[in-house]
Structures are given as C-alpha cells and as structure tokens.
Amino acid sequence: MPVHAGGPRLYRSIKFEHLAKGAGSGHGRAANVSLNLTPFVDMMTILVTFLLMVFSATGQILQAQKGLQLPTAKRAGMLQEAPIIIVSSQEVVVILQEADSAMPRTLPIITVEALLRDQTPTWKIDALHEVLKAAYDDIHNNRIPTGRGYDKEQIAACDREKQGLPPIEGKPLCPDGLAIVQADKDTDARVINMVVNTARGAGFEKLLFAVKKQE
C-alpha cells in the first residue's frame, strides 16, 4: 500500500466534481455547501402549531368553560361531541362544531340579566331558537344522511334509533337531536327552563347535562 505525503485532501477523495472545482486552487469562487435549515424549522413550527390547534379542538370532547361551576353528580357518564349550550352566571352562549372546520364556532346569544329582567312569561328564547334550529337542520338534513363529521358507531346508533331500538350502553348516541347543556350550578331555574324548552322546540330532544363527577 503506497504511503502518501500528509496534507489536506478535502474534495479529492470523493468524486464530487461540482464541489471540487476550484477547491484549494487559491482562486475562483469557493463552493458553498452549507444547508440553510431556517425554512425547514419554520415549516415544522407551523406544522406543530397547526396540529396542536386541531387536536386541542377535537381531541377533547368537552371542557368546562372558565368561571363555570358545574354541579356535582355521583355518576357522570361520558359526553360525546355535540352542540353545546353554555349558561353561565352572565350570559347564554352556543358552541357549534361544524363539519368543514376544525375550530368550533362560539356564538354569544343573550345575557342572563336580560332574560330575568323580561317579566313577560315565555318558554322560548328567540335568538337561541334561531341558532339552534339552523344547527339542527344542518345536522338532520345534511350531516347525518351523508355521515359528514361522524364515525361509523354514531351512524349505526342513528340506524338503531330509526328502528326503535334502545342505545347500546357505553356506545355513542345518535347525534341527531343531541345537544349538551353546561349550566352553572347557581343558575336561576327559570333560565334553565327557558333554555331547555327552547332547545326542545328547535329539535334537540336529547339533552345531556354536563356535571362534575363526585370524588
């Protein structure tokens, strides 16, 4: 094996002519082989942020709103994704999860003070009924028949419901006519009564009340 004199051999032992051209000659433009990672890091940061936003919106089925004290129950079952009616100490809000959007839409409806100030006896909150009726029509007419936004178990539950069969314990309920009510434990009973009657009048006959499980 021949012995060569010591010295740098960069770009000579590897046959990269486009890199070795002009290397070590002392003249000409030096080859720049550094890799710019800034666009790659920016792209990965945007991707991670997007995934976190999507999973934070859809990964959790239900989260109690800030400042809302839910009542406590000994048995608290799992609540599946559905339109959410929030009744806090200040206002009534509806959260809708649309099939074509990863982020839910929050719609403030009316303040609790305005509901209690109105002395006219009524069973329906007009603004709430309008929003819920539009949501029910979209779910009943557009999303259920096509299965948009729902898994196979939810669609199967709708088929069982049409046949008059009871739901299977531990399985998702049919989303047709299903809504969730989050109400503060100190909410006036008159407000709860108006919200429930309005929801039922808009087509949401199956109401699930969000509660905290008693420890």
69 in any annotated domain? yes
| Residue 21 pLDDT exceeds 90 | no
- Which of 182, 183, 174 has its CA nearest to residue 203? 174
| Residue 31 pLDDT exceeds 70 | no
Q: Over the chain, what is the mean pLDDT?
A: 76
23 in any annotated domain? no
E-strand ranges in 155-197 read 178-183
| Residue 34 pLDDT exceeds 50 | yes
| Residue 137 pLDDT exceeds 70 | yes
91-128 residue pLDDT tens: 999 988 776 666 778 889 999 888 888 766 677 888 99
171 in any annotated domain? yes
Q: Which helix (H) or strand (E) holds 156?
A: helix 152-162
User: Tell me, what's the pLDDT at 208?
Assistant: 85
184 in any annotated domain? yes
Residue-number span of the structural domain to which 184 is assigned: 61-213
2 in any annotated domain? no
Q: Which two tokens stand for residue 138?
A: 């979209």
- Please state the domain count of the chain: 1
Q: Which two tokens stand for residue 102?
A: 């990863």
CA distance 213 to 18: 69
DSSP assignment of 113-143, as one string?
HHHHH--S--S--HHHHHHHHHHHHIIIIII
CA distance 165 to 151: 19
21 in any annotated domain? no
151 in any annotated domain? yes
Cα atoms in the Cβ-side hemisphere of radius 13 Å centred on 73: 11
37 in any annotated domain? no
